[in-house]
Structure 1
């Protein structure tokens, strides 16, 4: 409480009373009112997710549907995942990447998603069920490599060494800084790798590109992770890299 009072005092002194009232209102709604409201299903990049609350559409800083959610990561999955593929995703988020990959692989394909956050795992499971794709998805409550920045408590998640990642056709990494360790230590050689870089967590684009090259991959394209968060992504070094196994590059 003392810390909050000090922060409020600083905002008042530096930005004025109007800014303090706005920030206080936002803090109060997000932390005390919104958690009590009924949940609401919306669409993130076409995927059904229970990510909204009744009343969010009336709140200026709250989004409902997000058509371009994780647009670069989702685009990479839609572009490079083929029918009947096996896809491994490390870092599940809301489960959007998992569902998109499952749609791409079809009924005979397989998606394995690793997520270290206990509550996040439940969100992914809910998203998978909402979209009716449980038949081809396996969700593992596991941390692959080092847990650098989980969304919530691990709750006893299993720790998986990168050398234990199963063989797959496409590997998707969105694991908040653990990307470089995984690329260094993995012993699989997927056809394509889609990686979200995180400069803020010591996994900048240059390092990821170097690790991919060392692992035998050629760069296809690099994109900013989310266009709607352009400034934030550029400030924190959040990009998505598409790479292809060197022996798969077209001449």
Structure 2
């Protein structure tokens, strides 16, 4: 980790085992092992070597790196991030963690971008994609700050596993997401608290053999 002795370059922060460079120091801390623990933990359980993974809402890149480490060069990770500044952070994250060769970054928002998301992460200035444009994949991770229902309802792909961070504070509680996943042919296999104060819930859903019929 750099110490920023020169005062011009902010140091690297380690989030849940993933180095994120050029992130401004936060109250003197530079190691946050619990950040994104809920989603990252589910990916660590579900992603297999050779999987194709899609991440909607890349953020700082923690879950993108986790997925890439698991699928390795036999698979791929495609990450969609709506905000250009966050995309640059994400790009540096995958480079410094040496997974850039099998990660594709797309400057795009899948589905609507909420006002809350823009207030937290900046304007969604990337391309706007319909959920039906999501590519086929083995594992889909959604961290799209309140747009979970629109993405799930509009997507055509049917991954083996869907990991969704639900945002009750933004009006999308897990109780609303669960029946949508079940209607799509998935079984909820795990519910994990997330967020700084466990105010969020990560749902893991596995596609049923009958496809929901």
User: Same fold per TM (> 0.5)?
Assistant: yes
How many Å apart are 1:37 and its aligned residue?
5.3
Partner of residue 113 from structure 2, selected from 147, 151, 173: 147
Q: SS where residue 73 of structure 2 aligns?
A: coil
1:43 aligned to 2:14?
yes
How many Å apart are 1:201 and its aligned residue?
1.9
How many Å apart are 1:101 and its aligned residue?
0.4
Q: SS where residue 204 of structure 2 aligns?
A: strand
Q: SS where residue 107 of structure 1 aligns?
A: helix
Which contiguous aligned blocks of 4+ residues in structure 1 show a shift greater than 2 angstroms?
51-54
The answer for the alignment partner of 1:113 in structure 2 is 79
How many Å apart are 1:83 and its aligned residue?
0.3
Give the number of equivalent residue pairs.
Answer: 201
The answer for the alignment partner of 1:76 in structure 2 is 42
The answer for the alignment partner of 1:208 in structure 2 is 177
Higher-Rg member (1/2): 1
Give the Cα–Cα distance (whole angstroms) in 1 for the partners of residues 23 and 145 of structure 2. 23
The answer for the alignment partner of 2:162 in structure 1 is 193
Partner of residue 95 from structure 2, selected from 118, 129, 136: 129
Q: Is the 8 A contact 1:191 1:248 kept in 2?
A: no
Pairing of 1:1-251 with structure 2 (within 5 A):
38-50=9-21, 52-53=23-24, 59=27, 62-148=28-114, 149-150=117-118, 151-155=121-125, 157-226=126-195, 229-230=196-197, 233-234=198-199, 238-247=200-209
Give the Cα–Cα distance (whole angstroms) in 2 for the partners of residues 132 and 144 of structure 1. 26
How many Å apart are 1:86 and its aligned residue?
0.2
Give the Cα–Cα distance (whole angstroms) in 1 for the partners of residues 210 and 105 of structure 2. 29
Higher helix proportion (structure 1 or 2): 1
Give the Cα–Cα distance (whole angstroms) in 1 for the partners of residues 22 and 144 of structure 2. 20
Q: SS where residue 162 of structure 2 aligns?
A: strand
> In the superposition, relative to structure 1, how do residues 53 and 185 fare at CA in structure 2: closer, same or farther (>3 Å)?
closer
Q: Is the 8 A contact 1:88 1:111 kept in 2?
A: yes
Unmatched runs of 5 consecutive residues or more in structure 2: 1-6
Q: SS where residue 183 of structure 1 aligns?
A: helix
Give the Cα–Cα distance (whole angstroms) in 1 for the partners of residues 34 and 57 of structure 2. 19
Give the Cα–Cα distance (whole angstroms) in 2 for the partners of residues 116 and 75 of structure 1. 24
